[in-house]
């Protein structure tokens, strides 16, 4: 661990110091190479076209009439999943000494800097006497509520790119952004529309891919992502003669009223892997058949489903799912902050008797609140990970294939 006055950080502060940041660290931009856009060509006729901004009401419009859901939602990770980078949203340690990521390349470090005009990330060639070869870019948009980590994007004209360094909540340190090679300078990873489809509520994609309207993005995952655009519902309910209570409300989607498959689709838009989009981004609306918009191919039966962002395919491999009546809402109320792990057992016990578990004979009542630890153990993600300083860092996520995991059982029994 470096202290604030370490030799490493002193020259850094001299060169990239808060005052002189713009003058010095912004110099050479030429190393930023052009993007390799991924095409999103439509192959099927979409049922819906991407909705215009005018059909959205925004979360605050729901507050007056749905106070409970609105209030609870303010603390949910979905709500905080993306935002403008500000003092209130940017996570990470900017204290000199802790604001540095060393890489496998002894001459290359990254520095994270808090300045009057925002937060900056800069590469620094420490072999160069003036450190003048670095690139610096500003944090413009942050992605990730920080439960696992937070990565940042910057604008270059009307294009968005990912910054090379990510905040890693597990160990409270800076790491190479997932998928970035260790020891190289990359400020050039374009943000494809599918990335924003999963991490924002609405945006206007321009042609070719990775060009966006800058000023009208709706950041955070808002109410209307799962309930569909809501302006018409708000207008009807606010009119002098609102629909009588209990009458069907066609202008808004309540997932609970959809068939189980369509309910799963609402979550699968983002929780079933990237897939192949066959329609323009944002075309899918809750209630639609997701397969008409995004083709998701589950991994073959003998290949384990990676826990990263693919809870749907994993859950679908569980006997509880195939022979029970289950959706994501069986265990999750997405309006709320996540429950404590132990309390999830109550959801298991809605279908199972505690005695049904073979371990009951051995461990008795002690298993009552521990179902999840043995049957949905945490696993290391193959998808959400980083190569940093010669190490592989992997996010730990819950297995959503509910099953018998002998290793997890041995671990718990051994405590």
Beta-carbon contacts of residue 321 (< 8 Å; ≥ 6 apart): 315, 402
On whether the CB atoms of residues 311 and 271 are closer than 8 A, the answer is yes
Comparing CB distances to ligand HEC, the nearer of 131 and 199 is 199
Comparing CB distances to ligand HEC, the nearer of 186 and 225 is 225
From the CB of 283, what's the least distance to ligand HEC, in Å?
13
Beta-carbon contacts of residue 86 (< 8 Å; ≥ 6 apart): none
How many alpha carbons lie under 13 Å from residue 316 in its C-beta half-sphere?
Answer: 18
From the CB of 231, what's the least distance to ligand HEC, in Å?
7
Comparing CB distances to ligand HEC, the nearer of 113 and 252 is 252
On whether the CB atoms of residues 109 and 165 are closer than 8 A, the answer is no
44-74: b (≥16 Cβ within 10 Å) or e? eeeebebbeeeebbbbebbeeebeebbebbe
From the CB of 408, what's the least distance to ligand HEC, in Å?
7
Comparing CB distances to ligand HEC, the nearer of 131 and 401 is 401
**d(C-alpha 231, C-alpha 229), whole Å:** 6
Comparing CB distances to ligand HEC, the nearer of 3 and 54 is 54
From the CB of 174, what's the least distance to ligand HEC, in Å?
13
The torsion region of residue 407 among left (phi > 0), alpha (psi -120 to 50) and beta comes to alpha
The torsion region of residue 172 among left (phi > 0), alpha (psi -120 to 50) and beta comes to left
Comparing CB distances to ligand HEC, the nearer of 205 and 348 is 348
Comparing CB distances to ligand HEC, the nearer of 96 and 273 is 273
From the CB of 168, what's the least distance to ligand HEC, in Å?
10
From the CB of 87, what's the least distance to ligand HEC, in Å?
19
Comparing CB distances to ligand HEC, the nearer of 41 and 247 is 247
From the CB of 130, what's the least distance to ligand HEC, in Å?
32
- Which residue's Cβ has the minimum distance to ligand HEC? 358
Nearest to residue 223, comparing CAs of 59, 66, 19?
59
Residue 133's φ and ψ, nearest 5 degrees, are -90, 0
From the CB of 126, what's the least distance to ligand HEC, in Å?
27
Question: Nearest 5°: CA angle at 274, between 321 and 56?
Answer: 90
Task: Write the CA distances from 87 to 1, 83, 140, integer angstroms.
Answer: 25, 11, 12
């Amino acid at each position: 661990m470096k202290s604030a006055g370490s030799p490493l950080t002193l020259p850094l502060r001299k060169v990239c110091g808060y005052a002189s940041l713009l003058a010095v660290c912004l110099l050479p931009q030429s190393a930023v190479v052009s993007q390799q856009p991924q095409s999103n060509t439509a192959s099927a006729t979409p049922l819906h076209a991407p909705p215009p901004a005018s059909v959205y009401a925004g979360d605050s419009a729901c507050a007056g009439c749905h106070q409970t859901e609105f209030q609870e939602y303010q603390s949910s990770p979905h709500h905080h999943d993306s935002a403008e980078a500000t003092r209130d949203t940017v996570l990470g340690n900017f204290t000199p000494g802790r604001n540095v990521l060393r890489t496998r390349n002894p001459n290359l470090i990254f520095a994270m800097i808090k300045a009057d005009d925002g937060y900056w990330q800069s590469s620094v060639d420490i072999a160069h006497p003036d450190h003048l070869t670095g690139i610096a870019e500003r944090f413009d948009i942050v992605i990730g509520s920080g439960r696992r980590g937070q990565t940042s994007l910057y604008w270059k004209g009307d294009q968005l790119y990912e910054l090379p360094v990510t905040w890693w909540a597990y160990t409270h340190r800076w790491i190479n952004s997932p998928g970035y090679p260790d020891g190289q300078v990359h400020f050039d990873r374009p943000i494809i529309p599918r990335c924003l489809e999963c991490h924002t509520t609405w945006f206007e994609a321009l042609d070719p891919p990775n060009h966006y309207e800058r000023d009208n993005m709706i950041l955070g995952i808002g109410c209307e992502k799962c309930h569909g655009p809501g302006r018409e519902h708000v207008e009807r309910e606010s009119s002098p003669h609102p629909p009588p209570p209990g009458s069907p409300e066609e202008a808004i989607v309540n997932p609970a009223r959809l068939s189980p498959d369509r309910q799963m689709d609402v979550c699968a838009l983002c929780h079933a892997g990237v897939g192949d989009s066959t329609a323009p981004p944002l075309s899918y609306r809750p209630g639609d058949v997701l397969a008409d918009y995004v083709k998701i191919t589950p991994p073959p039966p003998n290949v384990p489903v990676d826990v990263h962002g693919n809870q749907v395919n994993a859950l679908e491999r569980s006997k509880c799912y195939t022979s029970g009546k289950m959706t994501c809402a069986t265990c999750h109320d997405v309006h709320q902050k996540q429950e404590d792990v132990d309390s999830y057992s109550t959801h298991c016990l809605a279908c199972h008797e505690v005695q049904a578990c073979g371990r009951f004979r051995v461990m008795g009542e002690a298993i009552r609140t521990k179902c999840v630890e043995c049957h949905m153990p945490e696993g290391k993600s193959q998808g959400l990970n980083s190569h940093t300083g010669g190490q592989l860092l992997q996010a730990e996520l819950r297995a959503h294939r509910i099953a018998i995991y002998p290793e997890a059982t041995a671990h718990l029994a051994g405590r």
